[in-house]
Structure 1
Amino acid sequence: MKRKHILGRVSGLTLLALFSLFVNQYFANPDNGKQEVHNSNYNDSNILEVHFIDVGQGDSILVEINDSAMLIDAGENNQGNTVVKYLQSQDIDRLDYVIGTHPHSDHIGGLDTVINSIPAETIILPPVAHTTKTFEDVLDAVEAAGKQLTKPQVGDTYSLGSATFTIIAPNSEEYENLNNYSVGIKLEHGNNSFLFTGDAEKLAENEMLKNGFDLSADVLKLGHHGSSTSSSSDFLDAVNPEYAVICAGAGNEYGHPHVEILQEMFDRSIKIYRTDLQGTVVFTSDGRHISVNAHEYVVSEEDFISDK
């Protein structure tokens, strides 16, 4: 029996009731969804790759190590096949984890295509319903795959080969802005670390800071495509990255990345990589050192002085 579409099609439900119905129907019991961390012995043969896939104005990130793989977001609706083809080019025939950071279409638009094409073991989405066909398509794909969603629990740590990642956001279930529901994770591999925060804005960043998480990371995926709504000075102080990645579309209508963020990167001498200018960017970690497949984007004073 095909499930009843509850999002945007049922009248007379309060938002609270709709939220409860959504969580009860699609999310696994927290104890069932939680994964045990396996104590894998780290060694030099465990090479981690983080692929920031060029999907235009959106996010899609592949993490692979040993025989394990995780996908964070899959771009807009029209990028699903692009992501699937990229995964296939990397010989990915299954995914240990699929994370949809939040329900905006530039992050989860292609997830249904991915889930319908490549088996996924654990699918993590924040517990917030969205009244769009894009969101319903993802739920349909999850149901067709015989899966339930796993709710991100702050502080939970998961294993990915010899790497681990920890959920650091969202820290509330009541936000006015969907961006702040973004699933945030810190990925650790030996002495190297990566931080991904979806479109989390300054409010959510401040909550991460208040919770006392160790946010320090070598590589930061800048929040909200390099928008000035994210990447506060206090947050950047805590992360203190050597590298920053901006996932954005060439000539996008939002002006991402914003001049203020480029200024911050310039002032802090943070090496920048941009999918809008450089295409797919791949970081490789051996647990001690990090290398990149592209030359950094060099910010000059002309980049922001001319726009002031």
Structure 2
Amino acid sequence: MSTHTDTDHMGDIEVVAKAIRIKEILTSQGSLSQPSFVRRLRGLKCHVRVLAAGDQLPIMGSVLQVLYPWQLGNGKNNDSLVLYGRLLNQTFLFTGDLEKEGENEIIERYPQLRVDYLKAGHHGSNTSSSAAFLDHIQPKVAFISAGKNNRYQHPHRETLTRLEDREISYYRTDIQGAVRLTGWLNWHIETVR
């Protein structure tokens, strides 16, 4: 799945495709408006499936619902695929690099949306995981995917403060390494560095 066209979300897709067979790439319609992205997809010679709000993806006897985007975008951060799912009585929201503008659209479109686990938007940038968004979805735990010593200094202190002020536990890949959720009757969070 390519949430959008930024290099940090698609950069090594050719390397991955050489290591494992990719049957299908999932992306947003807006991503296909980026010529360089389309060239890369053609080079992979695999099926491309366009997702939009309302689509569903089966997973572990449940489904991930595509909540966003519902209109044609430009393949950039606020055109990120946003997925919501319920597994083992816990809810999950994956936001790609969605920023405040897109978060506000989610708030408007889904007034009852609450989640247990949030994949924080845009690597914990101060442009994402806004106060209004966090107050709306009320996550218990946030996961922040950011490279160690990254040039953007993600996650930003403002985002961490917003999480801390709301007593939302968080896990950071730049410090704790890979995060894995395991479980059958209950979820357990493990980190691996």
CA-based RMSD: 2.1
Q: TM-score, normalised by structure 2?
A: 0.89
User: Quick one: higher RCO (CA 8 Å, sep 6+), 1 or 2?
Assistant: 1
CA-to-partner distance for each residue in 1:151-178, whole Å, 9 max, x for gaps?
A: 1121122211313100011132145x81
CA contact (8 A) 1:171 1:204 kept: no
Larger Rg belongs to: 1
CA distance in 1, matches of 2:85, 2:155: 24
Higher alpha-carbon deviation: 274-283 or 165-174: 165-174
1:195 aligns with 2:93: yes
CA distance in 2, matches of 1:171, 1:227: 24
Q: TM-score, normalised by structure 1?
A: 0.57
Opposite residue 171 of structure 1, the aligned amino acid is W
CA distance in 2, matches of 1:265, 1:244: 8
1:101 aligns with 2:3: yes
CA gap 1:230/1:202 in 2 versus in 1, 3 angstroms? same
> In the alignment, what sits opposite 1:140?
43
> In the alignment, what sits opposite 2:159?
261
CA distance in 2, matches of 1:294, 1:174: 35
* SS class of match (1:198): coil
Q: Percent identity?
A: 34
1:282 Cα deviation from its structure 2 partner? 0.7
CA distance in 2, matches of 1:208, 1:199: 14
Aligned length: 190
Consecutive unaligned residues in structure 2, runs of 5 or more: none
CA gap 1:284/1:214 in 2 versus in 1, 3 angstroms? farther
CA contact (8 A) 1:169 1:185 kept: yes
Q: 1:130 aligns with which of 34, 37, 60?
A: 34
CA gap 1:251/1:193 in 2 versus in 1, 3 angstroms? same
Q: 1:185 aligns with which of 63, 83, 89?
A: 83
CA contact (8 A) 2:55 2:65 kept: yes
* SS class of match (1:292): strand
CA-to-partner distance for each residue in 1:27-76, whole Å, 9 max, x for gaps?
A: xxxxxxxxxxxxxxxxxxxxxxxxxxxxxxxxxxxxxxxxxxxxxxxxxx
Q: Which has the higher strand share?
A: 2
